[in-house]
Structure 1
Amino acid sequence: MLLIALLCVQVSALAETPKAWGYLGWWLPESWRSVPLEKFDRLQFFELQVAADGSVEPRHGWPDEWPELRQAIRESGTPLDLTLTLLDSPTFEKLFASDASAQYLLEQCMSLVAHEDVAGLQLDFEVYTVVEMTTLARYQKFVRTLAQQLHQQQPVKNLSIFFPLGGKSVLYDAVTLTDVDQVVLQGYDAHWTGSKTAGPVAPLSGKDALTWEKAVAEALKLGVPKSRLILGFPLFGYEWRVLRHAPRSSTLGKGASTTFAPVEHLLLPDIPVNVRDRVKQYGASHDAVSGSSSYRFKLSNGRYVEGWFEDWWALERKTDYLIDQQLGGIAFFLLGYDQGELTDHFFRQRARQDQSMRINSILDDTGILN
């Protein structure tokens, strides 16, 4: 009876298990129906695109064409943010070279969060070329001003940013990041369709230029607390035609994207291949260093194919890493690409870990394990 009482009293004082975020893509309009929305800690509507003049178009039907999603979000109690994207350098340079355009974007942002179903915004601005210092300074000022205005709202609105890695310019400095609520680190695309060699998409560790460990280290250098770091986890993979039947072989041309589970062809006509069918036919290998999985097979014409992806095995290792390092959580991109299989696995693992952490911590505190 004493142990049960201690469990009840001390449970609220224990460290939190990783939070789960999920991206809802406008091109999979029914994907939210296949996941337990209430188990997610935050959801991101993806995407609303930012133009060079500060306007936000297209908005892909938000909010008028999404009444059922909005109702489901209200019933689940899970906050929904809008993800604003800007994915090319010329647009970024033109937008933040103009005070008027930046101000117009700020006004558009505040208009978006005025909607009762919007809990906040995420800025997914990805620029990998050299950015002029004056332009960079204007952008950072914009982020700080946006954060301050969002935090003055009633109720307070959230601001997160997607932190791209591997570019020639770093969009954020330590001062700017202090005003941001969460930082979503680019935990994927260490290898992509244009890579010269096949390899893991979201390696945990190892010699790849982008790994989870290296991404976290970059954020910590900028003073971001661990609890505010969210790691991006891909529910997609890539496969390439390669030179040899061996891991990390040289690629022969551009690769192709894959989803983890089958997705209706009409919704994703450009991604006909899914990992689950590939593994069922050809099996899978698990790489202990990167914490990622792969498959390889030979075509009838004698050519070889190599694919890399994240599965249950990889997800467990990355979840263990989040827990060990006491990081904020994981962001699944994109809900529906796994038909809920990997996200459900994460929730089960999180529940087990949560129970284990609670019991072990309490036993340790009471001296029972000593």
Structure 2
Amino acid sequence: MFVYTVRQGDTLYEISSKYDVPVDRIRLVNGLDETNIVPGQSLLIPTFTYTVQPGDSFYRIANMAYVPLDRLRRANPSVNPNAIQPGMKITIPDISDYIASTLGFYTLRTPELDQALINDFAPYHTYLSIFEYHFSSTGALVNDLNDLPAIQTAWQRRLQPLMTVTNLTTEGFSAEIAHQMLNNPTARSNLVTNIFNVVSRKGYAGVNIDIEQVRTEDRDLFSGFLRQLRDRLQPSGYLVTVSVPAKTNEEVPWLRGYDYGGIGSVVDLMFIMAYDWHHGGSEPGPVAPIKEVRSTIRFALSRIPRTKIILGVPLYGYDWLLPYTPGTIAPGVSNQAAIETAMRYQVPIQYSTEYEAPFFRYVDNQGRTHEVWFEDVRSMSRKMQLVREFSLGGIGAWQISLGFAPGVWLLSKFFQIRKV
């Protein structure tokens, strides 16, 4: 498989003919309901045989296929890299030899929809973290989920379901509820017991703790809570995983509550939310810029065993109104919806090589200018390359119900998915 970037005047039919891949297959892989592609749009071309085009080089083909140059050469021993000609067939090597765990978050809808989506995504995931259980300051679980159909379907498809526990309220994540629970030994024990009871009663493989906005003064208490949870769950064979915000150092005040080293020494897996450097409440910009993602990985590796790290990537971006007004909130938009918006308004998609992120601007029907940053097959491929480069435990996403058609194909391109 390789990535083609649409040029001015291209049509899907011409791209199909150029690379000898049926139009309908290109549309399926890229989730395209329409054919009105736009310049700058990236398309994953599902073939392992590349047809050389005028101006091509082995280096360019390797970049398009996101494969190491030496592996491309080894896959084509009879081809002189310095003498390729248009029309020649080049074999793109299979690089799915890296065994990785994958973790997808999922918010329940209806049993029928849950089962259908799990069936679709099961071949590409190791863990499914089902969102979400809430807790009170006393450690009580304050809601229940109709999650048994999803749990059963997950196990049937060799997918390990995780119970997600958060400090979410109707007003967002509550630092105060987390603070009160962590500072009360009885509340901590209550929450550990309640989590164990749900995991064991409903048949989860384990838990994912997604407690956000942990305060600096609660740093050691949070690590201690995870240790207490591990000591209760692991003897029964249950997994303890955690979601943490991305950190590149210990200097940012609102991130000091997360001791990567302390947490990493306790949990089985750490899902690092390597996104939202720009978000709905910020000025426009890349959601997961590659430099910051790389710095986060390097910082994490100084404190956590690499096999425990799951790199979190976003299946979404944001749509900002311009000019940007501080205090306004830009709505989130799925990666697939962002592409559809560019196609609907027939505007070109730009790509920042500095941030490894796509973006575009459009004018809506009310005459308002928008700027959209999101993720596409190029930016996602770069992040999957980072998992291989740093030998991480795997990759995960928030959240799979948002949909990003090429994503499952990319996973099978870069990884052999670890299964139970």
TM class by shorter chain equals: 0.7 to 0.9
The reply on whether 1:324 has 2:409 as its aligned counterpart is: no
Deviations 1:166-209 (A, max 9, x none): 524232352342121111111111111110x210111121xxxx
What residue in structure 2 maps to residue 16 of structure 1? 98
Question: Is the counterpart of residue 234 in structure 1 residue 318 in structure 2?
Answer: no
What per-residue deviation string (whole Å, max 9, x for no partner) do you get for residues 21-73 of structure 1?
111112476255232313311111111112211011223333xxx42x23321
Question: Which of 350, 353, 356 is equivalent to 1:285?
Answer: 350
Task: Name 1:95's counterpart in structure 2.
Answer: 181
**Residues 36-115 of structure 1: matches in 2 within 5 Å?**
36-62=121-147, 66-67=148-149, 69-86=150-167, 87-115=173-201
Contact map agreement 2:108 2:114 (CA 8 A) in 1? no
Q: Do the aligned partners of 1:186 and 1:215 also contact (CA within 8 Å) in 2?
A: no
| Structure showing greater Rg | 2
Taking structure 1 as reference, are residues 163 and 110 closer, same or farther at Cα in structure 2, changes over 3 Å only? Answer: same
Contact persistence 1:232–1:333 (CA under 8 A): yes
1:275 corresponds to which residue?
Answer: 338
- Paired with 2:229 and 2:174, the residues of 1 have a C-alpha distance of 21
Name stretches of at least 5 consecutive residues in structure 2 with no aligned partner: 1-95, 168-172, 247-251
- The answer to whether the 8 Å contact 1:122/1:159 transfers is yes
- Which AA in structure 1 matches 2:207? L
Q: TM-score, normalised by structure 2?
A: 0.67
User: Is contact 2:260-2:304 (8 Å) kept?
Assistant: no
2:298 counterpart residue number: 217
Asked whether the equivalents of residues 124 and 408 of structure 2 are also in contact (C-alpha less than 8 Å), the reply is no
State how far apart, in whole Å, the 2-side matches of 1:342 and 1:33 are.
18
TM-score, with length taken from structure 1:
0.76
Contact 2:338 2:374 in 1 (8 A): yes
C-alpha distance 32-346 of structure 1, shift in aligned 2 (>3 A)? farther
Q: Provide the secondary structure at the position in 2 that maps to 1:317.
A: helix
| 2:413 equivalent among 349, 352, 361 | 349
Deviations 1:293-331 (A, max 9, x none): 111113455542101111112111111111111111111
Cα offsets for 1:132-186 (capped at 9, x unmatched): 2xx4333322111111222111xx1111111123524232352342121111111
Gaps of 5+ in 1: 1-13, 206-210, 244-248, 262-273, 355-370
Asked if structure 2 preserves the Cα contact closer than 8 Å seen for 1:83 and 1:124, the reply is yes
Change (3 A) 1:169 1:42: same
Shift of 1:227: 1.6
- C-alpha spacing 1:78/1:300, structure 2 compared with 1 (3 Å): closer
**3-state DSSP of counterpart to 2:400:** coil
> 1:310 aligns to what SS in structure 2?
coil
Deviations 1:77-133 (A, max 9, x none): 2111111111221111111121111111111111122136210101101116x432x
1:310 to 2:310 alignment:
no
Are the counterparts in 2 of residues 18 and 350 from structure 1 also a CA contact under 8 Å?
Answer: no
Task: Tell me which amino acid in the other structure corresponds to 1:181.
Answer: D
Indicate the residue corresponding to 1:365 in structure 2: none
1:160 is aligned to 2:254: no
Distance in structure 1 (CA, Å) of the matches to 2:334 and 2:197:
35
Hey, what's the Cα distance between the residues in 2 that align with 1:172 and 1:252?
31
Aligned to 1:33: 116
Corresponding residue of 1:171: 258
Q: Percent identity?
A: 19
Q: Does structure 2 conserve the Cα–Cα contact (< 8 Å) formed by 1:31 and 1:335?
A: no
Aligned pair partner of 1:297 in 362, 365, 370: 362
Question: Which amino acid in 2 is paired with 1:234?
Answer: P
Residues 332-343 of structure 1 aligned to structure 2 (within 5 Å): 332-338=397-403, 341-343=405-407
Alignment match, 2:83: none
Residue of 254, 257, 261 corresponding to 2:332: 257
| Whole-Å separation in 2 of the counterparts to 1:291 and 1:28 | 36
Measure, in 1, the Cα distance between the counterparts of 2:257 and 2:216: 9
Maintained 8 Å contact 2:192/2:232: no
Deviation sequence 1:261-315 (CA, Å, 0-9, x none): 3xxxxxxxxxxxx213212132312211222111111345554210111111211
2:205 paired residue number:
119
State the aligned residue count: 305
Equivalence for 1:266:
none
Match of 1:203 in 2: 289
Cα distance, 1:84–1:36 mapped onto 2, change above 3 Å: same
